[in-house]
Amino acid sequence: MTTEQETPQSTQPKRPGRTDGVMTEFTVFTKIKPEEADALREDLAAMSSQGDARQAMEQIGTLHSARHVMFDNGTRHMFASVFDGSWDSYIDDFAKTAVGERFERVFRHTEGFPGIKDPNVKDWFAAQQQTAGVFATAYPDLTVQQVWKDQRVNQAFQEVLDTPEFRAALDNPANAALLATPAFQKLLNEAQG
């Protein structure tokens, strides 16, 4: 079937990778250099601190999830990730952040990696990339930025619901017109539990 090949390319003018809504999956398979499996394992262990990873992801702002997996007895490595938009638009930007250092630290153990700051690094990644057969996400319309915003808004909303002053305001007849609007009814619907 040619359509399987063409669909992602027609929606993604630049690189392969399947999309769902605003997101693109980006999965790379590489060969680990001989004798470097232990070194990679140690680097991954050192990088597995959630705090550092989270900080790196905050810096990127478009990465939903990422995992590094070693397999085939330590001879191969998979990097699987989900980005907003296309991953390669921002690859030069990543190289300038803590994410660049993390990429460098992992992929230096894999064969042929030119270095995260090399101008040909996009082509190298694309050559190692395999496009997913199926890619689906539970929230296809939401970018990382929106998920963070939504989380902040909900936390603030819940705090408002906890204040007695808010309960009193709902009972105040002066606010009846506001309460009657469909938009506010939607908000109250979410406030019920």
Partner 1 sequence: MSEAASTSGPGVSVEIDDIQSGALHARPSPYVGRFFLLRIDDRHAGRAMLGRMLPATEGGLPTVNPDQGAWVTVALTFQGLRALGVPQESLDSFPPEFQQGMAARAEHLGDTGESDPAQWEKPFGTPDVHMGIVALAPDAERLQKALEHERAALQETPGVEIIWQQEVHQLPGGRTSFGFRDGISHPGIEGVGSGTNPHEAPLKAGEFILGYPDETGNLPPMPQPEVLGRNGTYLAVRKLHTKVAAWRQYLRSNSSSPEEEGLLGAKMVGRWPSGAPLTLSPDHDDEALGADPHRNNAFGYKENDDRGLKCPAGAHIRRINPRDATIVGATRLHRIIRRGTSYGPPLPEGVLEDDGADRGLIGVFIGAHLDRQFEFIKSEWVEDGNFIGFSGEKDPVAGHHDGTGTMTVPAKPVRRRLQNLPSFVVTRGGEYCFLPSLSALRWLSELKG
- Looking at the Cβ atoms of 19 and 143, the one nearer to partner 1 is 143
DSSP H helical ranges for 82-139: 91-95, 98-107, 121-128
**Residues 43 and 74 sit within 8 Å (Cβ to Cβ):** no
Q: How far is the CB of 94 from partner 1 (least distance, A)?
A: 9
CA distance 89 to 59: 15
Q: Of 152, 151, 148, which is closest to residue 58 (Cα–Cα)?
A: 148
Site for partner 1 in 51-70 (CB under 8 A): 60-62
Three-state SS for 57?
Answer: helix
* Amino acid of residue 143: T
Q: How far is the CB of 137 from partner 1 (least distance, A)?
A: 14
- Looking at the Cβ atoms of 90 and 103, the one nearer to partner 1 is 90
Please count the residues of this chain forming the interface with partner 1, following the rule CB under 8 A.
Answer: 23
- Give the residue, chosen from 1, 2, 3, 13, that forms a contact with partner 1 under the rule CB under 8 A: 13
- Looking at the Cβ atoms of 54 and 149, the one nearer to partner 1 is 149
**186 interacts with partner 1 by CB under 8 A:** no
- Looking at the Cβ atoms of 117 and 186, the one nearer to partner 1 is 117
With a CB cutoff of 8 Å and minimum separation 6, the contacts of 90 are 60, 62, 83
H or E element at residue 28: strand 23-31
Secondary-structure percent of the chain, ordered helix, strand, coil, rounded to 5? 55, 15, 30
**25 interacts with partner 1 by CB under 8 A:** no
- Looking at the Cβ atoms of 78 and 169, the one nearer to partner 1 is 169
Site for partner 1 in 106-145 (CB under 8 A): 117-119, 142-143, 145
Three-state SS for 72?
Answer: coil
Q: How far is the CB of 144 from partner 1 (least distance, A)?
A: 8
Q: Footprint of partner 1 on this chain (CB under 8 A)?
A: 13-14, 22, 60-62, 84-85, 89-90, 92-93, 95-97, 117-119, 142-143, 145-146, 149
